[in-house]
Amino acid sequence: MLLGTQDKFLFGLYTFFVLLIAGLALFAPWLAPYDPYEATMRHSLMAPSAEHLFGTDKLGRDCLTRILYGTRTSLMMTVSLVVIISGLGTFIGVISGYCGGKVDIVLMRIVDMMLAFPGIVLAIAIAGIMGGTILNTILALAAVSWTKYARLGRSLTLKLRERDFIAAAVTNGTRPLQILRRHILPNILSTIVVTAAMDIGTMIMELAGLSFLGFGAQPPTPEWGLMLNEGRQHIQTAPWLMLYPGAAILIVVAIFNLWGDSLRDIMDPQRAN
């Protein structure tokens, strides 16, 4: 059914803010007033002022600059993670749902085994074993986050497998890989994309959380979770060190969550006015 004007307006508005955030990340080197890595000890822990709008940290680095560069770091990590888990999980789910039998049993038992552990705790354990780096953090969260897409991909594939056009394709001798590529994947892609878009905010929070705990980005990388960790020691004397990175996380997560909700409404064929 046709969407209402309000739905289209909200989707356009949230898309604008998403593009704005992406633009801040892309053009951070030109927008940032200072070098994010340059330490000037005589400017240590300066309060927000005209010279440093968001103040400076304990090494005299400009907080606004590091937050802008942190947008780039956080989005790069998040997009990479979402692409990995949605691609891997969907592939496993589609294979499981279409093949059925022993293949389905083995793959779903692996999924059940992964779901038996608390996700974030397992991710912390994996990141701790591998070492605290951006790449290891992405891999650790990917190892525990793909299962949702596997379940979703399997469920959608099982529904499509019983449809008449799939049976017709099988009768005509179409190869299984061609059926998956031409009939299954195109019909489940919109649901996967919407789910991935709604996961962006969650992944930003989890990546920032691991960095805050010391398992993600390492100094001097400008990253929001790491900035919160560095600022907690000065929360009483320099509260801006936690206020602004925390606000950046809150705003960006809220925008991506609202954008994901509006995208779901746009792509949902059952949406009523």
Which spans in the chain are helix H? 5-26, 28-31, 63-99, 101-115, 119-130, 134-145, 147-161, 164-171, 176-179, 185-212, 224-231, 240-267
* Each residue's pLDDT tens digit, 135-178: 999 999 999 999 999 999 999 999 888 888 888 887 887 787 88
Question: How far apart are alpha carbons 38 and 14 in whole angstroms?
Answer: 34
Task: Provide the pLDDT for residue 273.
Answer: 43
pTM for the predicted model, two decimal places: 0.90
**pLDDT, position 3:** 56
The pLDDT tens digits for 22-54 are 999 999 999 999 999 999 899 999 999 999 999
| Domains within the chain, CATH numbers bracketed | 5-34+58-267 (1.10.3720.10)
| pLDDT at residue 237 tops 80 | yes
Question: What pLDDT sits at residue 4?
Answer: 67
